[in-house]
């Protein structure tokens, strides 16, 4: 490897030897093409005309009235595929094309990254295999159907709890045996180097656009920027636009699940400890011996016992605050946001909205809070209905 | 340090190296199986500490890890099993472990405790030579050899660096992929052994995908100093979970067969 892939002491590439040549190849290709004008203009065209960038920055007026301060929404939910994931899959997919790879594999939790990879597989005519935990296949069946319509094979992973962690394990194992013609399109800002760097690079447009939009729409930077954090790709995307603005408070919101005391959550940075998982040194949820915990969260996209290593570093340096909200508060936020704005937020993104709602009465009316709405909630309707059947809602 | 080179040289044939997951299917049975393997002709043991997320392992060994973890075996108890095995009969023991377990145990203490259990060498499955400095000093201080992997897609200059970092033996992967029994031995193995032998005197052991006596012989004929057999043995355990005597007799018979093929 040319670079160490470290964020402070976090990151690195802790993988079996057989994967090192593949990671070196991707690192070299990324170094070469990410600055290549032809690659950049091709990707820019795809961002604009395929995915729908730039996404709007929207002043959520009625929601703002509810909470008593100004809430602006970065509308990544409006992207093709319904989430920020397409930013990364277009970038890595194009990289795979430039490298001459013919096959794509990816892991997925909520199915958003799987869908975004399946779309790009269809777009570039690449054979695509998506690894998805059996629990997630069940709770996100609409996305599974969409992936199959795009021509991807969905591999249902039954190991462990059948969630994102197990999907990553099996995708890594499959890649180990097929490294020569297969590109592993990693979905989150975690995993071994160079993935955290690559994923951040392709998610950076969120932060770059949002910062410029703030300046042009209301003439200053926001006071607070917040996003949900599972592996952390949408968060690193928007945070990267503001980390060098010390006056901007940055808050990452993790899945508190059924509550920290129950142990059923995925609040890795909030209560995890440092260890090594899936190729990176980072915060993880583990027992005292280093066995990885099973996680639980209402949103499949956050249900992961690790987190991108740059977030671990941003936590330790104190630049970003990380905390968590519980499932019930997330459902409240989902309902209130939908009712006040007519926008269905993904349950993942609803974590950030839940934290915003909790700031009611704590922030002055002119405070500007920027929320990254990483995805739309259509995929979550079934889960919401399970927890909060419509007939029980107040008229 | 263990003089692995001396051990391999004195055998005058390829060494038989069975692999077990410590604590599979439970601690008592695991120890019995390891003793059985020693009695049946194992020259060296390769033992693994179960981990919840073993990304270098195929389904057979994953399941073994989960069986052992279901019985709540800890890394400390796994090391204690090694101590009991080496007390039964002195035999060189190589360890296969995932890095997070070492980190949480504490590197120095982990290597010291493994050494006092009678261990000889350590291979961290998800730690490459690029980060060898995170374990090599502590392993060396404890008197342990460090084993690293070489694979068919390892470049020549990297192979040289791997050989230079390796003090025990090179764990050579016979195929691209994870552990697991396979029908045929990869034709990638012979050229790889030749490449390694051309640049280093470090003994070369071959693992991943060797599942019967014929394949073991093939790998030995290709020039391997040792043949590591894991999933095929673990599979016997998996298939006989409801019959411990049969489990032991089949493991004994299988290992004796391989041993005979290597004579």
Q: Where are the domains of chain B?
A: 13-257
Q: From A5, A2, A3, select the one nearest A192 (Cα to Cα).
A: A5
If asked whether residues A167 and A232 sit together in one domain, one would say no
Considering only the beta carbons, identify the residue of A16, A160, A178 that sits closest to B125.
A16
Considering only the beta carbons, identify the residue of A17, A159, A277 that sits closest to B148.
A17
- Min Cα separation A155/chain B (Å): 15
| Radius of gyration, alpha carbons of chain A | 19
Q: Which residues of B touch A178 (CB under 8 A)?
A: 176
- Min Cα separation B256/chain A (Å): 31
Q: Which residues of A touch B127 (CB under 8 A)?
A: 14
Residue of chain B nearest A281, judged by CA positions: B100
Query: Among residues 154-183 of chain B, which lie with CB inside 8 Å of chain A?
Result: 154-155, 158, 162, 173, 175-178
Whether the CB-CB separation of A306 and A236 falls below 8 Å is answered with no
Considering only the beta carbons, identify the residue of A177, A180, A289 that sits closest to B104.
A289
Q: Which residues of A touch B128 (CB under 8 A)?
A: 13-17, 20
Q: Which residues of B touch A12 (CB under 8 A)?
A: 131
- Min Cα separation B155/chain A (Å): 8
Q: From A263, A210, A234, A259, select the one nearest A73 (Cα to Cα).
A: A210
B208 reaches A (C-beta below 8 A): no
Question: Can you read off the two tokens belonging to residue A105?
Answer: 């594999």
Whether the CB-CB separation of A221 and A242 falls below 8 Å is answered with yes
- Min Cα separation B253/chain A (Å): 31
Q: How many domains does chain A have?
A: 2
Number of Cα atoms under 13 Å in the Cβ half of residue A171: 32
Q: Is A292 helix (H, G, I), strand (E, B) or coil?
A: strand
Considering only the beta carbons, identify the residue of A21, A180, A279 that sits closest to B155.
A21
Considering only the beta carbons, identify the residue of A1, A16, A279 that sits closest to B130.
A1
Q: Is A296 helix (H, G, I), strand (E, B) or coil?
A: coil
Q: From A113, A118, A140, A116, select the one nearest A129 (Cα to Cα).
A: A118
Number of Cα atoms under 13 Å in the Cβ half of residue A178: 18
What average pLDDT does chain B have?
Answer: 94
Rounded Cα distance between B243 and A125, Å, is 51
CATH code where residue A335 lies: 3.40.50.1100
If asked whether residues A303 and A225 sit together in one domain, one would say yes
What pLDDT sits at residue B1? 67
Question: Can you read off the two tokens belonging to residue B96?
Answer: 């296969």
Q: From A108, A57, A67, A81, select the one nearest A241 (Cα to Cα).
A: A57
Considering only the beta carbons, identify the residue of A176, A277, A286 that sits closest to B178.
A176
Position of tokens 């990289």? A95
Whether the CB-CB separation of B39 and B252 falls below 8 Å is answered with yes
**Mean pLDDT of all residues in B19-44:** 98
Residue of chain B nearest A282, judged by CA positions: B100
The dihedral of CA A60, A62, A63, A69: what is its sign? Answer: positive
Q: Is A344 helix (H, G, I), strand (E, B) or coil?
A: coil
| Domain B13-257 top-level CATH class | alpha beta
If asked whether residues A96 and A214 sit together in one domain, one would say no
Domain annotation covers residue A1:
no
A12/B155 Cβ within 8 A: no
Measured CA to CA in angstroms, residue A215 lies from A60, A220, A221, A224, A250 at distances of: 17, 5, 6, 14, 17
What pLDDT sits at residue A139? 80
- Tell me which H or E stretch contains B149: strand B149-150
- Min Cα separation A165/chain B (Å): 8
Question: Can you read off the two tokens belonging to residue A174?
Answer: 């499959």
* End-of-domain residue from the set A159, A178, A200: A200
If asked whether residues A184 and A233 sit together in one domain, one would say no
B104/A275 Cβ within 8 A: yes
Q: Which residues of A touch B62 (CB under 8 A)?
A: 159
More confident residue, B161 or A165: B161
Known catalytic residues of B?
A: 46, 57
If asked whether residues A171 and A67 sit together in one domain, one would say no
* End-of-domain residue from the set A156, A171, A200: A200
Burial string for B170-194 (b: 16+ CB within 10 Å, else e) reads: bbbbbbbbbbbbbeebbeebbebbe
* DSSP structure string for B25-53: S-HHHHHHHHHHHHHTT-SSEEEE---S-
Considering only the beta carbons, identify the residue of B101, B126, B158 that sits closest to A15.
B126
What pLDDT sits at residue A300? 85
Question: pLDDT by residue (tens digit) across B42-99?
Answer: 999 999 999 999 999 988 999 999 999 999 999 999 999 999 999 999 999 999 999 9
What pLDDT sits at residue A393? 59
B99 reaches A (C-beta below 8 A): yes
- Min Cα separation A231/chain B (Å): 17
Q: A278: phi > 0 → left, psi -120 to 50 → alpha, else beta; which?
A: left
B55/A290 Cβ within 8 A: no
Which range of residues forms the domain containing residue A346? 54-82+204-392
If asked whether residues A161 and A220 sit together in one domain, one would say no
If asked whether residues A340 and A301 sit together in one domain, one would say yes
Q: Tens digit of pLDDT per residue, chain A (395 long)?
A: 999 999 999 999 999 999 999 999 999 999 999 999 999 999 999 999 999 999 999 999 999 999 999 999 999 999 999 999 999 999 999 999 999 999 999 999 889 999 999 999 999 999 999 999 998 898 888 899 999 999 999 999 987 778 888 899 999 999 988 988 999 999 999 999 999 999 999 999 999 999 999 999 999 999 999 999 999 999 999 999 999 999 999 999 999 999 999 999 999 999 999 999 999 999 999 999 999 998 989 998 898 999 999 999 999 999 999 999 999 999 999 999 999 999 999 999 999 999 999 999 999 999 999 999 999 999 999 999 999 998 765 65
If asked whether residues A208 and A164 sit together in one domain, one would say no
B74 reaches A (C-beta below 8 A): yes
If asked whether residues A68 and A153 sit together in one domain, one would say no
Question: Can you read off the two tokens belonging to residue B166?
Answer: 């390796």
Rounded Cα distance between A297 and B220, Å, is 51
If asked whether residues A60 and A99 sit together in one domain, one would say no
A20/B51 Cβ within 8 A: no
If asked whether residues A275 and A372 sit together in one domain, one would say yes
**Mean pLDDT of all residues in B24-39:** 98
A275/B103 Cβ within 8 A: yes
Query: Among residues 18-37 of chain B, which lie with CB inside 8 Å of chain A?
Result: none
Rounded Cα distance between B232 and B60, Å, is 9
Question: pLDDT by residue (tens digit) across B102-160?
Answer: 999 999 999 999 999 999 999 999 999 999 999 999 999 999 999 999 998 899 999 99
Q: From A306, A260, A107, A243, select the one nearest A187 (Cα to Cα).
A: A107
Burial of A139 (0-12, 13-18, 19+ CB in 10 A): buried
Rounded Cα distance between A247 and A224, Å, is 9
A284 reaches B (C-beta below 8 A): yes
- Min Cα separation B113/chain A (Å): 15
Reported as a pLDDT band with limits 50, 70 and 90, residue B254 is: very high
* End-of-domain residue from the set A162, A180, A200: A200
Rounded to 10°, the helix B244-262/B213-221 angle is 30
Backbone torsions φ then ψ of B27, nearest 5 degrees: -60, -45
If asked whether residues A160 and A273 sit together in one domain, one would say no
Beta bridge partners of A226: A251, A371
Q: Which residues of B touch A290 (CB under 8 A)?
A: 51, 75, 100-101, 103-105
B131/A276 Cβ within 8 A: no
* DSSP structure string for B67-124: HHHHTT--HHHHHHHHHHHHHHS---EEEEE-HHHHHHH-HHHHHHHHHHTT--EEEE
B100 reaches A (C-beta below 8 A): yes
Q: Which residues of A touch B186 (CB under 8 A)?
A: none
* DSSP structure string for A238-271: HHTTTTT-TTSEEEEEEEEET-GGGT-SB-HHHH
Q: Is A79 helix (H, G, I), strand (E, B) or coil?
A: coil
Whether the CB-CB separation of A234 and A372 falls below 8 Å is answered with yes
B126/A180 Cβ within 8 A: no
Rounded Cα distance between B4 and B25, Å, is 30
């Amino acid at each position: 490897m040319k670079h160490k892939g470290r964020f402070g002491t976090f990151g690195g590439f802790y993988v079996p030897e057989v994967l090192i040549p593949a990671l070196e190849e991707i690192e070299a290709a990324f170094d070469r093409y990410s600055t290549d004008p032809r690659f950049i203009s091709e990707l820019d065209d795809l961002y604009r005309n395929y995915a729908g960038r730039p996404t709007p920055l929207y002043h959520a007026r009625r929601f703002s009235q509810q909470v008593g301060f100004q809430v602006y929404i970065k509308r990544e939910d409006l992207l093709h595929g319904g989430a920020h994931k397409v930013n990364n899959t277009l970038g890595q997919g194009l990289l795979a094309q430039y490298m001459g790879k013919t096959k794509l594999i990816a892991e997925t939790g909520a199915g958003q990254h799987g869908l975004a990879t399946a779309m790009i597989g269809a777009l570039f005519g690449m054979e695509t295999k998506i690894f998805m935990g059996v629990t997630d296949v069940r709770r996100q069946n609409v996305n599974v159907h969409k992936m199959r319509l795009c021509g991807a094979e969905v591999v249902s992973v039954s190991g462990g709890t059948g969630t994102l962690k197990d999907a990553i394990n099996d995708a890594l194992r499959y890649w180990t045996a097929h490294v020569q013609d297969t590109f592993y399109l990693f979905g989150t800002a975690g995993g071994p180097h160079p993935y955290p760097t690559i994923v951040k690079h392709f998610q950076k447009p969120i932060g770059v656009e949002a910062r410029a939009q703030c300046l042009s729409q209301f003439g200053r930077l926001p006071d607070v920027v917040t996003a949900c954090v599972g592996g952390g790709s949408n968060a690193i995307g928007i945070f990267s636009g503001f980390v060098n603005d010390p006056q901007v408070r940055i808050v990452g919101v993790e899945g508190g699940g059924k509550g920290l005391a129950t142990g059923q959550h995925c609040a890795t940075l909030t209560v995890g400890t440092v260890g090594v998982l899936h190729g990176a040194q980072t915060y993880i949820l583990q027992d005292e011996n280093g066995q990885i915990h099973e996680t639980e969260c209402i949103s499949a996209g956050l249900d992961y016992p690790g987190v991108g290593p740059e977030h671990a570093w941003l936590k330790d340096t104190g630049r970003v605050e990380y905390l968590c909200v519980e499932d019930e508060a997330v459902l409240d936020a989902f309902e209130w946001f939908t009712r006040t704005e007519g926008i269905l937020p993904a349950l993942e993104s609803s974590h950030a909205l839940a934290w915003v709602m909790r700031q009611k009465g704590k922030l002055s009316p002119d405070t500007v809070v920027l929320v990254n709405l990483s995805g739309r909630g259509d995929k979550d309707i079934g889960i919401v209905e399970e927890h909060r059947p419509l007939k029980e809602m107040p008229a | 340090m263990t003089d692995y080179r001396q051990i391999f040289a004195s055998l005058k044939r390829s060494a038989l190296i069975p692999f077990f997951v410590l604590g599979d299917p439970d601690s008592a049975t695991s120890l019995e199986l390891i003793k059985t393997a020693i009695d049946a002709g194992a020259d060296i043991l390769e033992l693994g500490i179960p981990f919840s997320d073993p990304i270098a392992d195929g389904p057979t060994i994953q399941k073994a890890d989960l069986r052992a973890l279901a019985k709540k075996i800890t890394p400390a108890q796994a090391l204690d099993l090694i101590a009991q095995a080496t007390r039964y009969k002195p035999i060189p023991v190589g360890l296969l472990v995932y890095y997070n377990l070492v980190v949480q145990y504490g590197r120095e203490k982990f290597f010291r405790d493994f050494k006092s259990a009678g261990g000889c060498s350590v291979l961290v499955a998800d730690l490459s030579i690029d980060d060898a400095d995170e374990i090599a000093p502590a392993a060396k201080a404890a008197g342990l050899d460090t084993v690293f992997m070489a694979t068919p897609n390892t470049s020549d200059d990297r192979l040289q660096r791997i050989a230079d970092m390796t003090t025990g033996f090179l764990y050579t992967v016979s195929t691209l992929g994870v552990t697991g029994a396979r029908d045929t031995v990869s034709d990638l193995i012979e050229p790889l052994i030749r490449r390694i032998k051309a640049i280093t005197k470090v003994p070369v052991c071959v693992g991943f995908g060797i599942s019967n006596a014929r394949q073991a012989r093939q790998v030995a004929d290709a020039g391997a100093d040792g043949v590591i057999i894991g999933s095929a043995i673990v599979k016997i355990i998996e298939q006989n979970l409801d019959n411990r005597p049969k489990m032991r007799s089949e493991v004994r018979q299988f290992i004796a067969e391989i041993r005979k093929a290597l004579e």
